[in-house]
Amino acid sequence: MPCPPEEWPGTRERIVLRLLAAGLSNAEIGKRMGFEGSTVNRWVQQLADRAGVPGAEVARPGVGSTGWRRVRLAVWAAQNGFADGDETPG
């Protein structure tokens, strides 16, 4: 069951979602936040789990499951108010 964004306690999670929705790569997000891209990748996967974003079982042919899930999470983030430049959903 997805966890509603308003119940997410972490500012870091909200910042990652905002930057993801803005189209930044994991490496770019990591650089801005002072972390490795691999750390951000782990966070993205955890955020996708919390948001209820499906994984490999719905990936499109020719698109890696991680990339597909990342795109779906970016869309979810934008639809839930994380693309407006604020760390909190609108």
Note the pLDDT tens digit of each residue in 15-65: 999 999 898 999 999 999 999 989 998 999 888 888 888 775 555 555 555
CA distance 29 to 18: 10
Please state the pTM of the whole predicted model.
0.73
Please check whether residue 16 is in contact with residue 73, taking contact to mean a CB–CB distance below 8 angstroms. Answer: no
Write down the domain spans for the chain: 8-79
CATH number of 8-79: 1.10.10
pLDDT value at residue 53: 84
pLDDT value at residue 85: 57
Residue 21 CB burial class (10 angstroms; 0-12, 13-18, ≥19): buried
| 50-79-21 Cα angle (round to 5) | 80
pLDDT value at residue 88: 39
Please check whether residue 61 is in contact with residue 54, taking contact to mean a CB–CB distance below 8 angstroms. Answer: no
pLDDT value at residue 50: 86
